Structure 1
Amino acid sequence: MTATNDPRVGTQSGPTADSDTAGRWVACDESGWDGEQLIGRRGPYFVYAAVAIDDAEATGIVEELRAETRYQAPELKFRDFKKRSIRRDALRRLWGDGGALEGRCWAFVFEKEYAAVAKVIDLLLEEQAYAAGFDLYVDDRARTLAQLLRQHGRRALGDQGYESLMTAFVAFASVRGRGDERAREAFFTHVEEAWASSTRRNVTDVLMMLRTTRSQAEMFHGDTDTHPMLELLVSSVAQAARHWGAQLGPVSVLTDEQKALPDDGLDNIAKVVRHGWGATPSSRQRPVDLRALVRGTSVDHPSIQLADLVAGAVRVSYEHKAGTEISEAGEDLWPTIRPLVDKSSANPSLGGIG
């Protein structure tokens, strides 16, 4: 299923074009990115969007949008579409039935607090289970544990106790906290305090399990690998490649420039995607025929501008639906963005895609 040569990585300055060599191009952008600081920053959601289109075709679509909406700025940005109903109408037509991008838009939504909890479950409880000969991914057991703690933790621990625990999770698992004994001890101190004060049995049970993972935590902090475990961009690129590779076959992925995606980072992602990934047989993902994984700017690539529109619309719609930021844009766009969102998105508070 994979190509014979290693995928090309780096910066793509020239326009992208579908071909036998490159396969189909997929353009990506994000909304709500905070790096590894998943708690208390730029809103509750991170969205990664990918549109199956190359620059050659995207150029015409962008020009049509400009003419239809009287858009004057150098680049299409969702923030300029959010406030005007005529521009939101144009987006609904673009993605909807018969639109130029019908069936070609995809987005993955992370609720950031859930992502932090899920990563700690993965780093500690999954490793503990694996060492004992169990597969925590069977029947979505790992996801269920993370959902329990995220959905019921605040009621079980109170606002202050829950937020302190979430902050300790991030400090423990982030690159900055890696190998820091104080961060590790603070993490277990907060787990102990949360376990002792929990008023809900299901939350108490998860915390009890985490209390027993000190050896896994020490192993994690002793690992010399400084891969940013909480960086959602990394896993999102892999998810986008996996989705479109399954749909289209050979693909090349163009993602918006971010400091979290240097050449060596892109290379690592590309190798994992091409060879498949997953800690256990039940979580194993199939390899993707990835021909290129490159970065670029929205100034140079109209295809990235189209991905920006999708990412922004999905985030605003989810914020509206969750009640964290009510907006006319979220109300208008929600029906048309729902079909674009991956059903496996890490978003328990809205029950998958709501």
Structure 2
Amino acid sequence: MTLEVACDESGSEGENLAGAASRVFAHASTTLSMQEATELVDHVRRSCGVTTDEVKSTTLLAPRNREVLTDLFAPAGALDGRCAVMLADKEFFLVAKIIDLLVEESAHERGEDMYWNRKAVRLARSLHQDGQRALGVDHWNELLQAFNSLVRTMQRKGSKTTVEEFFEVVDRCRTRSHRRKVDDALNLINNARPFAERFRERLGDDTTAPDLDPIVPGVVEAARHWYHLHRQHVVIHHDHQSIFTEQLIDQLIHSSNYPMHEFSLLTGGPVRLDAIHLVDSRDDPRIQVADWVAGFARSQAAAVLSSGAAPHSGLRCLILPASPWSDAVSWEAMTGSPPPP
């Protein structure tokens, strides 16, 4: 027996993470059946006075529809226990990639596993939380923008940062920093230059999956969550996204079913992901529901992160623990628990 999971996102800007228009990305999934989703969309359309076939999250999030939104995400409401969301603070996601693609690779060659003892996560959080204060806004932003340009697969405007240029930025930041933890992180990054050069060489390889688009781990975490919850093979129906080439879909299915040993130990073993189908939200009401959930979660999380606003109570049961998030105050406000150590 297979479990059908429908997915959509909110706040996606692809690999553009440094200085993104939206700080928060949300990837939502739901296990509503086609009939359940159809009935729910019809109900929401009538309640919101929508005359078109598709109800977008922007409509549902409008102040005039607050009662409809509250009912949807209330305990024992239509979506209770049937949806999940991976949130990502794009800035932290980018910082974590600096550690993942450079520092961790260097450590792995020395025989150190930074994932098993969660050293990689702690280092990324420390750099993200203290980096701007240690370097100043301009140097911090320069570091993030240079790395973003260095490792993204495509860049439409301007020239891509070279390895030489990136490490010139790192060197300037090292002379600027006045916090020990940031000093330590920058030194580790500086020592990982050979791995930056190797990574740039791989960027021309069509078999390399995009590392900076959070939609990729969003799909992986959705499949993992629902498989481990129900122990049924998973089939994902996802709103059309250009990133999902046939090759990338094959990679995601294979890596989920046959994960590397060290990741398998950390994430609970293989995930039986059978297929990923791309569909049009106008043809599948389940995708419309996933769009509502993603839009709701992103808007709530962005408000909590930026202004400390109190989140809607319905957000708490949606958020996946593996969400890339660094800010402890907003995380506890949204989930009711401190972030994992």
Give the TM-score normalised by structure 1: 0.86
The change in CA–CA distance for 1:117 and 1:244 in structure 2 (over 3 A counts) is same
Residue 261 of structure 2 is aligned to residue 261 of structure 1:
no
2:150–2:160 Cα contact (<8 Å) kept = no
Match of residue 205 from structure 1: 184
Secondary structure of residue in 2 paired with 1:28: strand
Match of residue 293 from structure 1: 276
The change in CA–CA distance for 1:89 and 1:161 in structure 2 (over 3 A counts) is same
Q: What are the Cα deviations for residues 102-138 of structure 1, in whole angstroms up to 9, with x where unaligned?
A: 1011000111111111112111111111111111012
The residue type equivalent to 1:133 in the other structure is G
The percent identity for this pair of structures is 32
Greater CA drift, 265-274 or 63-72: 63-72
Match of residue 306 from structure 2: 323
* 1:291 Cα deviation from its structure 2 partner: 2.8
Map 1:162-201; keep pairs closer than 5 Å: 162-176=140-154, 183-201=162-180
Gaps of 5+ in 2: 334-341
Residue 91 of structure 2 is aligned to residue 109 of structure 1:
no
Secondary structure of residue in 2 paired with 1:129: helix
2:27–2:218 Cα contact (<8 Å) kept = yes
- What is the root-mean-square deviation of aligned Cα atoms in Å? 2.0
Question: Which of the numbers 17, 32, 53 marks the counterpart of 1:74?
Answer: 53
Distance 2:39 2:257 in 1: 32
* 1:279 Cα deviation from its structure 2 partner: 5.1
Map 1:205-244; keep pairs closer than 5 Å: 205-223=184-202, 224=205, 225-244=207-226
Question: Which of the numbers 272, 284, 287 marks the counterpart of 1:304?
Answer: 287
The residue type equivalent to 2:291 in the other structure is D
Distance 1:92 1:276 in 2: 39
Q: What are the Cα deviations for residues 141-187 of structure 1, in whole angstroms up to 9, with x where unaligned?
A: 1011111111111110011000000001101111148xx99521111
Greater CA drift, 334-343 or 309-318: 334-343
Distance 2:124 2:246 in 1: 32
Secondary structure of residue in 1 paired with 2:282: coil
Residue 119 of structure 2 is aligned to residue 136 of structure 1:
no
Distance 2:42 2:226 in 1: 25
Distance 1:308 1:353 in 2: 24
Match of residue 338 from structure 2: none
* 1:77 Cα deviation from its structure 2 partner: 0.9
The change in CA–CA distance for 1:116 and 1:104 in structure 2 (over 3 A counts) is same
Map 1:28-43; keep pairs closer than 5 Å: 28-43=7-22
The residue type equivalent to 1:296 in the other structure is V
Aligned residue pairs, count: 325
1:129–1:135 Cα contact (<8 Å) kept = yes
* 1:35 Cα deviation from its structure 2 partner: 0.6
The change in CA–CA distance for 1:302 and 1:353 in structure 2 (over 3 A counts) is farther
* 1:277 Cα deviation from its structure 2 partner: 4.3
Distance 1:42 1:350 in 2: 22
Question: Which of the numbers 128, 132, 149 marks the counterpart of 1:150?
Answer: 128
The change in CA–CA distance for 1:48 and 1:93 in structure 2 (over 3 A counts) is same
Distance 2:262 2:8 in 1: 27
2:146–2:161 Cα contact (<8 Å) kept = no
1:95–1:105 Cα contact (<8 Å) kept = no
Distance 2:293 2:238 in 1: 14
